[in-house]
Amino acid sequence: MAFDTIVKGGMIVTAADRYIADIGIKDGRITALAAELSGADELIDASGLLVLPGGIDSHVHLSQPSSDASVMADDFESGTRSAAAGGTTTVLAFALQKKGQSLREAVAEYHAQADGKCHVDVSFHLIISDPTPQVLGQELPALIEAGYSSFKVFMTYDDLVLNDRQLLEVFAVAGAHGATVMVHAEGYDAIRFLSEKLEREGHVAPYYHALSRPEIVEREATHRAISHAEITGIPIVIVHVSGREALEQIRWARARGLKVSAETCPQYITLTADDLRDLNMGFEGAKYVCSPPPRDAESQAAIWQGLVDGTLELFSSDHCPFFFQDEDGRGKDTPKARTSFRWVPNGIPGVETRLAILFSEGVSKGRISLEKFVALTATNHARTYGLYPRKGTIAVGSDADLVLWDPNRKETIRQETLHHGSDYTPWEGFEVTGWPIATMLRGSVVMENGQVLNRPGNGHYLTRYTSSAQATANVDWSKALSADTNQSSITG
């Protein structure tokens, strides 16, 4: 047979165009796109459906330890199961360096957790928390060369924050080796100052989390990160941009010709700080505690403007799942967290609902085009993080990672039908138009009608090329598409 599988008659959408065609798949790759294909072991009827590149979620936290008793509600198995259910076929998770730990140990630890357990393809961004001379001089350059071509740095959190000197040193290494740096831009000292003031005033409920890190705190850190990027001459990605103030800084940087990319997330177009208020004198607001916190209607409008005009290029989940209530005290609602918002674990689950929320709020409501949706949820992630064109598009030679999408299907998001490990979703009862019907990973169906086929281990680990390789116009396509150079089995 010419093909293993043909996906017939769907409306193919890429970041650039849309057209009705058949997709021929052989050995996990797309080998033909044509009006009419035949000769396959398996036919999948996609008529009446959209066929989109599998979602790429480039900001997902799985199995990350916390400094307190809280435990992440998803490991690599459940987190990638949830991704597959929502139409996402590549997850970029984090390998967190603990203080005093070598980067190599950190990477080995996360491989041990992920290898053989993933339902979709995965890759790791490093989190640099301890930039020792050994890390900066040897480990980081070696790992970048080995395909760990991006890492995240934090400007806040007790156990992660880097000072300005450390940020500059880390940025310089990224520049020398072509890595992409993601920056969590919120200012540590300002947050501490405001948090302690709120606590002294007795303002300890979850809602005050939002007041302890207002937009100015994000704006200041965003500006500082941009300045450090200019000093060291590197491109950066400002992650989880929450509102208008940080956006202004990003536009200012771009106008200066700086290479600053920016990401936003479902929470910043659908939630506001008011969701953190515990109106029933309860603790429900903790379900929405994430950082940066959701803002207000004006900032939501600004985020939409940024998505439409291209200031925001990446739409990720920042999936950071905790339990709400948990008998063993591992979740958000603990006696300690009830003494202050400061002890509520930061983060919300969202890897499964990301695509449906943006499709519904964006495409179905007429704010963005289908092509823009694909760019924001897949193509731009592959380009930014060294996976394009193998991932992130529908083209001959690319992996057959596809989502069959019903643009008219109405669904209500409910915890009971989701696949993640958390015991709640921040979007309980949220109504959407547009829903994934099936997910294909390298030519195999991994989700159909909400059922994830139970094959953890289908997912491969992806090594990625660097931003400098990416920035040159003449990316070597044969290399970018080659299984041997760009993919290693996660069981390796």
CB of 241 to Zn ion, least distance (A): 11
Pick the closer one to ligand URP by CB: 174 or 290: 290
460 binds Zn ion (CB under 5 A): no
Contact characters 112-141, Zn ion, x per CB under 5 A: ---x--------------------------
- Return the one option of ligand URP, Zn ion, none that residue 12 interacts with (CB less than 5 to 8 A, by type): none
Residues 6 or more apart whose CB falls under 8 angstroms from that of 81 comprise 119, 419, 452, 456
Instruction: Kindly identify the residues of this chain, within the stretch 156-195, that bind ligand URP according to CB under 6 A.
Output: 184
Residue selected from 127, 234, 320, 481 as contacting ligand URP according to rule CB under 6 A: 320
Supply the minimum distance, in Å, between the C-beta of residue 166 and ligand URP: 17
Cβ-count burial of 182 within 10 angstroms (0-12 exposed, 13-18 middle, 19+ buried)?
A: buried
Binds 111, which of Zn ion, ligand URP, none (CB < 5 to 8 A, cut-off by type)? Zn ion
Min dist CB 237 to ligand URP, Å, is 12
Q: Under the criterion CB under 6 A, does residue 347 sit at the interface with ligand URP?
A: yes
324 residue type, one letter? F
Choice from 89, 232, 316, 346 touching ligand URP (CB under 6 A) = 346
Selection from ligand URP, Zn ion, none that 290 binds (CB < 5 to 8 A by kind) is ligand URP
Q: What residues between 167 and 186 interact with Zn ion by CB under 5 A?
A: 184
Which residue number, 234 or 290, has a Cβ lying nearer to ligand URP? 290
Whether 52 and 363 have beta carbons less than 8 Å apart is answered as no
Question: For residues 144 and 320, which CB has a smaller minimum distance to ligand URP in the complex?
Answer: 320
Site size toward Zn ion (CB under 5 A) is 4
Of 347 and 389, nearer to ligand URP (C-beta) is: 347
Tell whether omega for the bond before 266 is within 30 degrees of 0, i.e. cis: no
Query: Shortest gap between Cβ of 471 and ligand URP (angstroms)?
Result: 25
Minimum distance, C-beta of residue 386 to ligand URP, in the bound complex (Å): 20
How many residues make contact with ligand URP (CB under 6 A)? 9
Exactly one of 120, 290, 314, 378 binds ligand URP (CB under 6 A); that residue is 290
Considering the rule CB under 6 A, would residue 61 count as an interface residue with ligand URP?
A: yes
Q: How far is the CB of 430 from ligand URP (least distance, A)?
A: 19
Binding partner of 78, given ligand URP, Zn ion, none, CB within 5-8 angstroms per partner class: none
* Closer Cβ to ligand URP, 214 or 347, answer by number: 347
Name which of residues 312 to 331 contact Zn ion (CB under 5 A). 318
115 binding partner (options Zn ion, ligand URP, none; Cβ < 5 to 8 Å by kind)? Zn ion
Q: How wide is the angle at C-alpha 28 spanned by C-alphas 22 and 32, nearest 5°? A: 30
318 touching ligand URP, by CB under 6 A: yes
- Closer Cβ to ligand URP, 317 or 487, answer by number: 317
Q: Which is nearer to Zn ion, 95 or 452 (CB)?
A: 95
Q: How far is CA 373 from CA 52, 270, 314, 367, in A?
A: 10, 16, 10, 10
Six-digit token string for 272: 């506001």
Nearer to ligand URP, 166 or 433 (CB): 166
What distance in Å separates the CA atoms of residue 410 and residue 75, rounded to the nearest whole number? 30
Binding track over 425-464 against ligand URP, x by CB under 6 A: ----------------------------------------
213 near Zn ion, judged by CB under 5 A: no
For binding to Zn ion (CB under 5 A), which residues are involved? 111, 115, 184, 318
Binding site for ligand URP (CB under 6 A): 61, 184, 240, 290-291, 318, 320, 346-347
